[in-house]
Structure formats: structure tokens, C-alpha cells
Structure 1
Amino acid sequence: MGGLPKGCGALVRAAPCAFFANAFDYATQSGRLTHGHPTGYLAGGLFADILQRMVDRQDSLEHSIGESLAKHGQKPSMEQPRSFIERVLFFFYEGYRPTPQRIAELGGGWVAEEALAIGLWCALFADSLESGIITAVNHGGNSGSTGLITGHLLGVQYGAATIPARWFAQLELREVIEQIAEDIERIPREYCGVGGEFDEQIEQAYPGN
């Protein structure tokens, strides 16, 4: 059976961790469940940490990347993800815009560190959510993962209201998706676990063992 490329599943699951404290740790722990190679789950940790800095501190994407690398970039086995992200930051400072050919030269995004770097590269140069995602999915590599990464970053930067309405036209389970998205942001703030005001309501909506 087919599946997500090496480490990219860790990236897919990392984004919701941005709404919890210690996003980097939660994302890497989540990634370890299915991806044993450090570059897979560490790239997921960086992705969640960058998103958290943008959400909580209202930092720019560029600043969030730099701060995340400063805090986590020297961790063991981080050499490969750090190298890819530093290369993308160099491209950004030099005005080296992502194109299908240039993305292919960097890598196809078939491994997590490449996918994260490509997603960051496309988001850094985007002047809108739509244009950034279009750039991120129009290349010959793992465009599903790179588009997802860029979409999350630009969704935080520009807001969900900037998603083109025509993209929703054939979206299945839109109401469910929107409700879960709202709850991912709300529940970490409202759930206490010990008789909190909203605990019963939340536990009924999301029963656990």
C-alpha cells in the first residue's frame, strides 16, 4: 500500500501541536510514533514551533523561523533539517524566488526536511495565501505535503477569511472540518480536566478512553 513519503506524515500531524504548550516536544513525540528517522520527527517539531511562534507571539514568518532555529537548531540529528532551512533563508535574502525548476534543484519534498524547506520557501515569497499555495503545489515533487505546509503558514499569516471561496465549492465535510479547526484552537484554552466549566461538553464531543 502507498503512504506518505518518508517523514512527511510527521509534518502532517505536527500543525495542531502549535496550539499546545511545548509544541516542538509534542510534535516530535507524535512524529516518533510512525517515523523512526530523526529528520522526520525533528522537521515536524520545527514546523509546529514556527507555527506556534506565529500564533502566540504574532511574529512574522521570517522571524519565527530564525527564532526556532536559534532554539532548536543545535539539537542532535538536526543538521539536515537546519541545513535545508538555512539554504531557504539564504534564497529569501537574495531574492531567489521559488519556481518549479528551482524547487526540483532543492529537492522534490519526498522527505520531511525537503518538504518543510520548500513549504517555507513558498510561504516566505507569497504575497497572498492563494499565490503561495499555487506556487507550493505546482512542481513535480511531493506537492501535497509542500502545499499543506505553505497553506498552514499562510493561513496563520493572512487568516482563513482569505481562502478563495471557490476552493470550498466541492469540499466534502466542510462543516466538520471547520468545527474541528475551531476546537483545536479553543479546547487547549478551555479544557481543565478537573471539573472545568467546559470539561463535560468537550468530553462529550471528543470522548477518550
Structure 2
Amino acid sequence: MSPPNDARISRTLGALLGVHCGDSLGATFEFKPWSQIIRQYPHGLREIVGGGTLKWPAGHATDDTDLTRAVLLAYRDYEEHKQQSADAFNIAKAAAEYALQWNEGAWPGRRKGSRPIDIGNTTRRGLQRYKMSKDPAAAGAGAGSAGNGSLMRCIPTALFAAAATRQNESIAISAFTHDDPRCTVACAAYNEIVAALVAGTPPQAAVDVGKTVANALNCAQVTQAITEGETLPLAKSASEGPRREAISASGYVLNSLKLAVAAVLDVRSFEDVLVDVVRIGGDSDTNGAIAGGLLGARDGVETIPERWLEKLQFRREFEDVGTRILQMQAQKDSG
């Protein structure tokens, strides 16, 4: 891996903070239908204001950003481990341990020992099984649980895993909670799209990479979701309603993937696209996080409004840790 250049750093930080922005912007609308949102914000919400059903402070991380942080810290630990030892390091186990800490109350911004107020049932079951087994490969909620709770957290793998291991790590980090193939393959395909964007690949070509991966992993449903996302009229759906265009804003992993693909192929600005993603409503924070990661990888951190960035709970940590990982990787390669 070559030393990180300015474009790579920008897109890496854009991807991490894009997740955080989409999460925090969308938290205001979580669980609300488009019909209710459009009455209050006919042109979309353009400020991170918090509130919503769970009364979030403005810019505070929900489970989407918190669990992205868990995976990010696992990659930081991995790079530090490689500097000191040649022993094997189980990246999925490290991520699962941080996720368990989050679930059990050892987490910034929460009273020690307090449980998260927002946790999906699949994530809860997977972490309970992991706590008992301490084996990420033996956890997971089982086939049939295909929510978006692993897709929302998977982006650090795209940014920091070696190309040769990226797909396997994407699958393993999904599987300690979400081991249904629709989830594991969605994570693998999404992360390959992100990695291609960070490398400077144009959006359509990056999406084609994701479809190739889904095909290679024999998950036709993921391939179909990506294909459908390529033709979704995002702006029209946000202004006229998702039902008219057969868009679902539910927490089903393939709906979220489809919406994120539509977002990254939309040629408008980071802000305009993300505003439309979250005003569709439903699982708005998670859909915003997943789409925001792709948009940030596409456009770079400089395109994210500063007024949004300055409100994010983990902005400085994400910037510091993301940059530090890239530096450690470059130092190891040059040595």
C-alpha cells in the first residue's frame, strides 16, 4: 500500500464522516413517514438539529455511528498490533468486543453500565450469542434476519482492510450479528464500491464492481438490489413520495443498499442528495448513514458542510483515528 495521498485521506474521512452526518441528519426523522416529513419540511431538513422520536442531542451518534466506531477502533487496534507482533489478529472478534462494550455501557456519551436506547433485535441477539461464545463465527442471529444493522457499520473495512482480505473481513464483521447471506454479501459488495470510490473510480464503474462481487458470491438478491438502485429516481421520490416510485425506506438491508446506490449515482452535491435520502423517512438515520458513506467516499470530506461537521459527536475522533490508521499502514509499507 502506497503512502496516503491527499485525495485518499479526503475520501477516507469523507466516508467515515459521511456515515456520521447521514446518521445525525436522519435521526430527526427516524420512524416518521414521508407524508409527515413533507408537511413540516417541504424542501427537506438542511440542518442537524437532533430531536426525533428518541430526542437525540444534535449531532449525537445513534447506533449507526456508534457501531461504525466499534469497527473503526478494531482496525486501529489491528494496525497497532501489526507494529508490535506477527501473531494473528481476529478483526471480527475485535469489532465484536467493541460492539459488546457499546451494548453493555462502556461507551462515550453514556452513563457507565447503561444500555443503548436504540439497538436492533438482530444486533441484540447476535451480541448475546457472541457474549456467551466469544467466537464471532458462532454468533449471528441466523438466516432470515436481514436487517441493515451490519451494512450501517461496515465501512471501515472498505477503508482500511487489504484488498486481498477485504471481502472476507466484510463478511466476518457482518456475521457476528447479521449472518444472513443477504447481509454478508451486501456488506462485501458495498465495501468494494466504497474502496473503488476512494481509489478514484467513477461512481458507475464503482457500482459495477459491487455487482461483480455480488455475482461472484452467488447472491442474486444483492445483485438485483444494486441493479434496481441504478434506476431509482431519488429526487422525484423525495419530493413526490417513495410509494409512487416503489421505494421502501424500511430497515431491510436490500432496501437500504438500493437507496444508497441511487444516492451515489445522483450527480448532485453531497448535501442535496443526503437531504433527499433522509426525507424519504422510515429508517432515515440508517439509510442516511449508509448513503452518506458512499457520498463521502465519492466526493471527499471537503464537500460536507462545515456546519454539519462541527456538530458531530465523534468528528475529531474519526478524523484522528482514520488518519492515524492510514499513517501506520504507510509506515509499515515503507519500512
Q: TM-score, normalised by structure 1?
A: 0.79
User: How many angstroms apart in 2 are the aligned matches of 1:174 and 1:42?
Assistant: 29
Q: Secondary structure of 2:178's partner?
A: coil
| Cα separation, 2, equivalents of 1:70 and 1:36 | 21
1:54-82 Cα shifts (integer Å, max 9, x gaps)? 123x1111111112212432423x12211
Alignment counterpart, residue 16 of structure 1, candidates 131, 144, 156: 156
Residues in 2 aligned to 1:37 and 1:176: alpha-carbon distance in whole angstroms: 31
Deviation track 1:68-108 (CA, whole Å, cap 9, x = no partner) reads 212432423x12211111112234xxxx3442323772222
Residue of structure 2 in register with 1:32 after alignment:
175
Match of 2:278 among 111, 114, 137: 137
Name structure 1 gaps, 5 residues minimum.
198-209
Could you tell me how far 1:37 is from its partner in structure 2? 1.1
**Aligned in 2, Cα 1:10/1:184: closer, same or farther, shift over 3 Å?**
farther
Match of 1:41 among 169, 173, 184: 184
- Cα distance in 2 between the residues matched to 1:85 and 1:44: 12
Alignment of structure 1 residues 23-102 onto 2, 5 Å: 23-56=166-199, 58-76=200-218, 78-91=219-232, 96-98=233-235, 99-100=237-238, 101-102=241-242
Q: Summarize the alignment of residues 114-153 of structure 1 with structure 2, pairs less than 5 Å apart.
A: 114-153=255-294
For 1:118-197, what aligned pairs fall within 5 Å after superposition?
118-191=259-332
Q: 2:87 matched to which residue of 1?
A: none
Report the CA distance shift for 1:26/1:87 in structure 2 as closer, same or farther (over 3 A): same
Structure 2's unaligned 5+ residue stretches are: 1-116, 123-145
Distance 2:288 2:118 in 1: 19
- The structure-2 alpha-carbon separation of the partners of 1:32 and 1:190, relative to structure 1 and needing over 3 Å to count, comes to farther
Contact 2:186 2:214 (8 Å CA) reproduced: no
Aligned partner of 1:54: which letter? L
Identity over aligned pairs, percent: 21
Indicate conservation of the 8 Å contact 1:85/1:117, yes or no: yes
User: How many residues in Structure 1 have an aligned counterpart in Structure 2?
Assistant: 188
Structure 1 pair 111/186, CA: closer, same or farther in 2 (3 Å)? farther
Structure 1 residue runs of 4 or more that deviate by more than 6 Å after TM superposition: none
Tell me if structure 1 keeps the 8 A contact 2:193–2:206.
yes
For the residues of structure 1 that align with 2:118 and 2:313, how far apart are their CA atoms? 23
Residue by residue over 1:97-149, the C-alpha shift from the partner in whole angstroms, topping out at 9 and shown as x without a partner, is 44232377222241111111111112211411111111111112211121112
Say which one has the larger Rg: 2
The alpha-carbon deviation at position 28 of structure 1 amounts to 1.0
Structure 2 Cα separation of the partners of residues 73 and 3 of structure 1? 31
After superposition, the Cα gap between the structure-2 partners of 1:188 and 1:33, relative to the gap in structure 1 and judged at 3 Å, is: farther
